[in-house]
Amino acid sequence: MDNKPVVLVTRKLPDAVEGKLAEHFEVILNPDDRLYTTDEILELANQADAILPCHTEKFIAETIALLPSRVKAIANYSVGVDHVDLEAATQKGVIVTNTPDVLSDATAEIAMLLMLGAARRASEGERIMRSQQWKDWSPAFMVGQQITGKRLGILGMGRVGQVVAQRARGFDMTIHYHNRRPVDSELVGDAVYHASVEDLLAQIDVLSTHCPASEQTRGLLNSQRIALMHSNAIVVNTSRGGVVDDDALVKALESGQIAAAGLDVYNGEPDNIHPGYARLDNVFLLPHIGSATHETRNAMGYRAIDNLIAIFNHEQPRDRVA
């Protein structure tokens, strides 16, 4: 690289990541971490050779078509790439990368937290304590479910799903999964493969979703499928809100058709989430923080930088998705 390429960074990244980026590139930073409008991104992109966005910036086909031709790459600071129209990027010759692997541990931790939080009524307990409403203890007080020894169903046995399976084994859970194809037993051990989502749902106690958001997975967890789950079942979602039909899930939680849910991701996040969730006691809710650890935020940044370095060295970036 003779002249340093210019990278537009759409959100505030960890200082260490921004420092490393500046070693290799000219950077346009967003120190105030303001959520840019698409028009602002298009305006700033006039000065950029690449964009380093998060999932909070949407690159629909129309936006990609309007990108200045000097923009060669969208190097995402995320593993999920549903915010980018990959086909439109390919057509325009814009390289797209993501940051897989580095957030599997952090996301698996949040999946376990949600599982435990939903099963053991952590939200209710927290609220009782914070509002100083705890008046009595009795054997009947706040009784939840144990996850130890239960059957965990993993929907999407990719990198995150595999780490969740390992962590869940620490709770003696038996692992079941559905994936487009069975995964090599070296990677998934004795996990039981189910060829259909329906078959999986009927045979598990806890569902944890780890499939990407796509046309094929939109609203996958709908009322017909939820009806296959038993009444003590728990749903955990750390993938993308789009995988769930919110009306169906809220109804099932309200009516006791299933026992509880733990959610980190939502349709319409951050500010247009189905209002039913906040009303329910049997849900444990977090604000899309699956990958939000210091370690992972740095690792995501370094991975995006490695991808950018490869791109501007005319090499194949490790995490190219389009």
Applying CB under 6 A, which residues contact ligand DGY?
54-55, 78-80, 103, 290-291
Residue 70: strand, helix, or coil: coil
With CA atoms as reference, report the closest residue to 239 among 119, 56, 80.
80
What is the C-alpha separation between 281 and 123, in angstroms, rounded? 7
With CA atoms as reference, report the closest residue to 143 among 124, 113, 122, 120.
120
* Nearer CB in complex with ligand DGY: 202/292: 292
* Nearer CB in complex with ligand DGY: 103/308: 103
Distance, CA of 168 to chain centre:
18
Q: Least separation, in Å, of the C-beta of 128 and ligand DGY? A: 31
* Nearer CB in complex with ligand DGY: 78/179: 78
What is the C-alpha separation between 106 and 237, in angstroms, rounded? 14
Q: Least separation, in Å, of the C-beta of 264 and ligand DGY? A: 9
Q: Least separation, in Å, of the C-beta of 80 and ligand DGY? A: 3
| 57 is an active site residue | no
* Nearer CB in complex with ligand DGY: 156/290: 290
Residues 240, 274, 297, 303: which is the catalytic one? 240
Q: Least separation, in Å, of the C-beta of 55 and ligand DGY? A: 4
Q: Least separation, in Å, of the C-beta of 84 and ligand DGY? A: 11
Residues 24, 124, 269, 320: which is the catalytic one? 269
| 288 is an active site residue | yes
* Nearer CB in complex with ligand DGY: 40/269: 269
Number of Cβ within a 10 Å radius of residue 28: 16
* Nearer CB in complex with ligand DGY: 54/309: 54
Packed helices 104-119 and 159-169: angle between N→C axes, nearest 10 degrees: 50
What torsion do the CA atoms of 212, 100, 44, 94 make, to the nearest 10 degrees? -80
What is the C-alpha separation between 169 and 235, in angstroms, rounded? 18
197-203: Cβ within 8 A, 24+ apart: 197/155, 197/225, 198/225, 198/228, 200/153, 200/155, 200/176, 201/153, 201/225, 201/226, 201/228, 201/229, 202/228, 202/229, 203/151, 203/153, 203/176
Answer for the pair 206, 234: CB distance below 8 angstroms, yes or no. yes
What is the C-alpha separation between 165 and 125, in angstroms, rounded? 27
Residues 55, 178, 288, 297: which is the catalytic one? 288
Number of Cβ within a 10 Å radius of residue 197: 18
CA distances to 28, 43, 236, 266, 272 from 243, rounded to whole Å, are 34, 33, 11, 9, 16
| 240 is an active site residue | yes
Q: Say which amino acid occupies 275.
A: P
* Nearer CB in complex with ligand DGY: 203/293: 293
Q: Least separation, in Å, of the C-beta of 10 and ligand DGY? A: 12
Catalytic positions: 240, 269, 288
